[in-house]
Amino acid sequence: MTQFATYPSLKDRVVVISGGANGIGESIVEAFHQQQAKVWFLDIDRSAAESLIARLSDKPNTPKFVECDLTNIAALQQAAAEITSHHKSIDILINNAGNDTRHSVEEVTPDLWNKYLALNLHHQFFLTQALLPAIRQSGHGSIINMSSISWIIPGTNLAAYNTAKAGIVGLTRTLAHELGPDGIRVNCVLPGAIMTERQRRLWFTETYQTEILSRQALKRMIQPEEVSRLLLFLAADDSSAITNQSYIIDAGWI
């Protein structure tokens, strides 16, 4: 069995993860739990969240779940307040939640456009804003924003999604410079085609997987835990001088 890195600096660090019940987020929750961090995650899917907690409850520091519709900014702020009522200092924030439902140019209405920006971009800023006093309190905060290579490729039928994901890179760079004087690092991760259950169920047909592999330098699909391992490094003290950067993990697609 392959042994991957352990980061002593992550032990007992307080980590907040948005969209942690499924997909890449689920893998992120599990990865930080294995590092003995104190994990809190937000999601709208209570059933999936409870299943994840049950699976991880055999070790100390069982992850804590807060049910939250991240497109509701008031609810998001309330969820942040609940977490900070338990922890005055937050060490790590991972803005992960997103939704890549396809949409043609013709079918996008103003309401749909706003919905997809709310699902993929707005909450990253407002959760950061809500937790910022507690992150400042840590003196060594790390914020990691999840973007995507889809806006670089660019992927079609994803106009609103790609706009949001491109915006996340700009948000990351702005926050890195604004929060750097407080010792807070801000980085961005841009995954490629990741073999999550949702992607497998909705998009990754045999034909599409063949197309993906033809574009990648590595001729295999990327697993969620490979993304999580990059996030562990960026959150740990091992990356203490790294900020304002965007990391592509796409098996050589770009």
191 cis-preceded (ω within 30 degrees of 0): no
In sequence order, what E strands does the chain have? 14-18, 38-43, 64-67, 92-95, 142-146, 185-191, 246-249
> Measured between alpha carbons, how far is 144 from 94 in angstroms, rounded to an integer?
5
| Type of residue found at 64 | K
Asked if 130 contacts 83 with a C-beta cutoff of 8 angstroms, the reply is no
Respond yes or no: is residue 247 known to be catalytic: no
Question: Encoding tokens for residue 89?
Answer: 């200092």
Percentages helix, strand, coil for the chain (3-state, rounded to 5) are 50, 15, 35
Q: Which of 116, 161, 208, 247 is catalytic?
A: 161
End-to-end alpha carbon distance in the chain: 30
Residue with tokens 């055999």: 58
Provide the annotated active-site residues: 161
